[in-house]
């Protein structure tokens, strides 16, 4: 078991990962394929253990774990194994006539030793989906699971070395102290998923070694609603996306913008959808999650202080239960201070509905804030959808549905601005974890380079004037 807690063992893990990478062992496609197959085996053979761990840490149901945690990773593995040859094949590149005779190639090479730091909300998916890309690209990896989901962390620390090449993949458990220690070492890439404040700490540490980073962050993801004809269907989809994992999802709709006349019908429809999907008392429903720890529970409870709660609001500190809750937010610019729940990412089961005059006001509200990870438009109007797409910037856009844009293997998943930098999934993970190396060969046989070398005779100047356009 590679459960590492002290500075010396962290150094030993990084050194072992480096040595193994330097030995060339991780480069062959056969090794990469085998690791991916082994990771699939790990997930297949330990499904119930992983599901129990997530239940323990987050009250996450087995079905939700299969869909949103292990299923996502297994989908990534299958897709990557199917396409690995094509994605990693060197590519011939045509060179300009003026350089002929010559040949050019683009070769993907692994970066080296990669550090993957994961958060607690999807602690399996967000640790292992980046791992798929890192292994597929031929790297050694240090995995740092979140300490806030300790059962998942120890389960993975126990399983990973049993299935994967233990010289190449190391799990470092622990919290801030261990991550801080890890960050003193030189990595060839750091892939961090979590919040913007820690992302700044990571970026500063990475800068010391000029290490490139991928930052998968969060923030407030807005949703616009004006689709009266599909009121109930939209409400169900929003409730599904918002209250999955008790709202602790980076791409969950954070709040809904709609016109004042739609606030009441939408609130009623959301209430019906909550009852329909989670029952009269979601506390009794095994499909509804819990808040990860007391600190986050207290933070969310404080956000509700003085809020205009129209649905839900029930809570229980001892089990960290917070009911699916809808609040009516004041109109922006109304003569009131903005509530805290409209200033920070909610990251819990609280859904504010914000009245704005029209699409323009909603777009203005959105663009005045940090660029979100996701933006959702629930509208039957092509013009409205096009307006949001062309006039706002976000990591991705979901039209008529939340969440799905984050899980498509052939589409990059990542943020922009405050919601992150870089992207992954499928081929984009290979891009994230490898370097595209340019290779050019100029044979000696017909030495046309002669014309580019001094002395620049009138004849050469003439040729240069004709070839350089
Ligand atoms: P977290 O508290 O588990 O932190 C993430 C990792 O950072 C952990 O491994 C932790 O040990 C490490 N860490 C914490 N403090 C540190 C410090 N001072 N120095 C070094 N390392 C430190 O998770 P979190 O940040 O609370 O996660 C929630 C956030 O992540 C939300 O903002 C959410 O939107 C975002 N998120 C983004 C994505 C995405 O894919 N873009 C996915 C999930 C969550």
Q: What is the DSSP string of 412-435?
A: -B---GGGEE--BSTHHHHHHHEE
Nearest in space to 167 (alpha carbons), one of 132, 142, 187: 142
Q: How far is CA 289 from CA 55, 180, 248, in A?
A: 9, 30, 9
Q: pLDDT digit string (tens) for 22-52?
A: 999 999 999 999 999 999 999 999 999 999 9
In percent, the amount of the chain with pLDDT more than 90 equals 92
Is it the case that residue 466 has pLDDT exceeding 60? yes
Ligand 1 contacts CB of residue 175 (under 6 A): yes
Q: What is the pLDDT of residue 2?
A: 44
Per-residue tokens: 119: 């958060």
Is it the case that residue 7 has pLDDT exceeding 90? no
Helix (H), strand (E) counts: the chain: 16, 18
Is it the case that residue 55 has pLDDT exceeding 50? yes
Average pLDDT in the 428-434 region?
98
CA 318 to centroid of ligand 1, rounded, Å: 24
Give, using CA atoms, the residue closest to atom 37 of ligand 1: 217
Classify strands 350-355 and 374-378 as parallel, antiparallel or unpaired. unpaired
Ligand 1 contacts CB of residue 148 (under 6 A): yes
**Index of the ligand 1 atom closest to the CA of residue 118:** 9
**Index of the ligand 1 atom closest to the CA of residue 216:** 41
Q: pLDDT digit string (tens) for 74-101?
A: 999 999 999 999 999 999 999 998 889 9
Q: How far is CA 350 from CA 218, 300, 304, 320, 332, in A?
A: 16, 8, 8, 14, 18
Q: pLDDT digit string (tens) for 225-265?
A: 999 999 999 999 999 999 999 999 999 999 999 999 999 99
Ligand 1 contacts CB of residue 184 (under 6 A): no
Contact 115, 189 (CB under 8 A): yes
Give, using CA atoms, the residue closest to atom 22 of ligand 1: 176
Ligand 1 contacts CB of residue 136 (under 6 A): no
Per-residue pLDDT band for 469 (boundaries 50, 70, 90) equals: low
Q: Which of 58, 194, 200, 421 to mutate to test the pocket of ligand 1 (most atoms within 8 A of CB)?
A: 194
Compute φ and ψ for 194, nearest 5 degrees. Answer: 165, -150
Per-residue tokens: 197: 């404040």
Residue 314, SS3 per DSSP:
coil
Q: Which residues are catalytic?
A: 216, 250
- 234 burial type by CB count under 10 A (0-12 exposed, 13-18 middle, 19+ buried): buried
Mark residue 246 as left, alpha or beta (left: phi above 0; alpha: psi -120 to 50; beta: remaining).
Answer: left
Distance CA 360, CA 410 (A): 32
Instruction: List % helix, strand, coil for the chain (3-state, nearest 5).
Output: 50, 15, 35
Q: What is the pLDDT of residue 33?
A: 98
Q: Which of 198, 221, 247, 346 to mutate to test the pocket of ligand 1 (most atoms within 8 A of CB)?
A: 198
Give, using CA atoms, the residue closest to atom 9 of ligand 1: 146
What one-character DSSP code corresponds to residue 368?
T
Query: Measured on CA atoms in the order 120, 122, 125, 130, is the torsion positive or negative?
Result: negative
Is it the case that residue 428 has pLDDT exceeding 80? yes
Contact 224, 262 (CB under 8 A): no
Per-residue pLDDT band for 1 (boundaries 50, 70, 90) equals: very low
Contact 225, 235 (CB under 8 A): no
Ligand 1 contacts CB of residue 180 (under 6 A): yes
Give, using CA atoms, the residue closest to atom 43 of ligand 1: 250
Ligand 1 contacts CB of residue 120 (under 6 A): yes
Residue 312, SS3 per DSSP:
coil
Distance CA 281, CA 86 (A): 51
Alpha helices (H) in 62-214, listed in sequence order: 62-65, 71-88, 125-136, 150-163, 176-182, 196-208
Quickly tell me which residue has 């993975």 as its tokens. 156
- 427 burial type by CB count under 10 A (0-12 exposed, 13-18 middle, 19+ buried): buried
Per-residue tokens: 352: 């504010």
Q: What's the length of the chain? A: 469
Give, using CA atoms, the residue closest to atom 4 of ligand 1: 119
Cis previous bond, 70, omega within 30: no
Q: pLDDT digit string (tens) for 340-382?
A: 999 999 999 999 999 999 999 999 999 999 999 999 999 999 9
Is it the case that residue 446 has pLDDT exceeding 90? no
Ligand 1 contacts CB of residue 420 (under 6 A): yes
Q: pLDDT digit string (tens) for 274-317?
A: 999 999 999 999 999 999 999 999 999 999 999 999 999 999 99
Compute φ and ψ for 247, nearest 5 degrees. Answer: 80, 5
Contact 339, 330 (CB under 8 A): yes
Q: What is the pLDDT of residue 333?
A: 84
Q: What is the pLDDT of residue 396?
A: 98
Q: How far is CA 32 from CA 29, 46, 54, 131, 436, in A?
A: 5, 21, 28, 11, 18
| Residue 307 C-alpha from the chain's centroid | 31
Is it the case that residue 139 has pLDDT exceeding 90? yes
Q: How many CB atoms sit inside 10 A of residue 104's CB? A: 16
Distance CA 231, CA 453 (A): 72
Distance CA 461, CA 231 (A): 72
Which of 112-116, 292-296, 451-455 has the lowest average pLDDT? Answer: 451-455
Ligand 1 contacts CB of residue 250 (under 6 A): yes
């Amino acid at each position: 078991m590679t459960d590492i807690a002290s500075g010396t063992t962290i150094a030993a893990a990084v050194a072992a990962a480096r040595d193994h990478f330097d030995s060339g062992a991780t480069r062959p496609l056969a090794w990469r394929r085998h690791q991916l197959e082994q990771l699939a085996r790990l997930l297949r053979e330990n499904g119930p253990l992983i599901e129990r761990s997530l239940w323990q840490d987050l009250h996450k149901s087995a079905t939700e774990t299969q869909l949103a945690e292990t299923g996502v990773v297994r989908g990534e593995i299958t897709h990557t194994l199917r396409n690995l040859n094509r994605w990693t094949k060197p590519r011939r590149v045509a060179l300009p006539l003026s350089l002929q005779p010559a040949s050019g190639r683009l070769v993907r090479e692994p970066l080296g030793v990669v550090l993957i730091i994961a958060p607690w909300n999807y602690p399996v998916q967000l640790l292992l989906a980046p791992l798929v890309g890192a292994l597929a690209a031929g790297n050694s990896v240090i995995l740092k699971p979140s300490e806030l989901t300790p059962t998942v962390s120890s389960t993975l620390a126990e399983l990973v070395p049993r299935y994967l090449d233990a010289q190449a993949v190391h799990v470092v458990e622990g919290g801030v102290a261990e991550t801080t220690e890890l960050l003193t070492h030189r990595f060839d890439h750091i892939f961090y998923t979590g919040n913007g404040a820690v992302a700044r700490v990571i970026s500063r540490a990475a800068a010391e070694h000029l290490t490139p980073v991928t930052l998968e962050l969060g923030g407030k993801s807005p949703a616009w609603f004006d689709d009266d004809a599909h009121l109930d269907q939209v409400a169900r989809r929003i409730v599904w996306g918002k209250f999955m994992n008790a709202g602790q999802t980076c791409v969950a709709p954070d709040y809904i913008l709609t016109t004042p006349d739609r606030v009441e019908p939408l609130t009623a429809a959301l209430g019906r959808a909550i009852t329909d999907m989670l029952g009269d008392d979601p506390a009794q429903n095994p499909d509804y999650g819990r808040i990860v720890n007391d600190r986050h529970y207290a933070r969310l409870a404080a956000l509700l202080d003085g809020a205009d709660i129209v649905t839900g609001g029930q809570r229980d500190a001892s089990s960290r239960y917070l009911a699916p809750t809808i609040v009516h937010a004041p109109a922006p610019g109304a003569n009131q201070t903005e509530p805290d729940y409209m200033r920070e990412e909610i990251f819990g089961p609280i859904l504010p509905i914000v009245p704005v005059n029209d699409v323009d006001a909603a777009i203005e509200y959105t663009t005045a804030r940090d660029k979100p990870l996701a933006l959702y438009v629930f509208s039957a109007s092509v013009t409205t959808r096009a307006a949001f797409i062309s006039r706002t910037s976000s990591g991705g856009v979901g039209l008529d549905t939340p969440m799905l844009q984050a899980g498509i293997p052939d589409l990059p998943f990542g943020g922009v601005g405050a919601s992150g930098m870089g992207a992954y999934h499928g081929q984009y993970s290979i891009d994230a974890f490898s370097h595209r190396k340019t290779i050019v060969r100029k044979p000696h046989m017909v030495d046309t380079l002669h014309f580019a070398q001094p002395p620049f005779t009138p004849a050469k100047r003439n040729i240069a004037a004709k070839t350089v356009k």
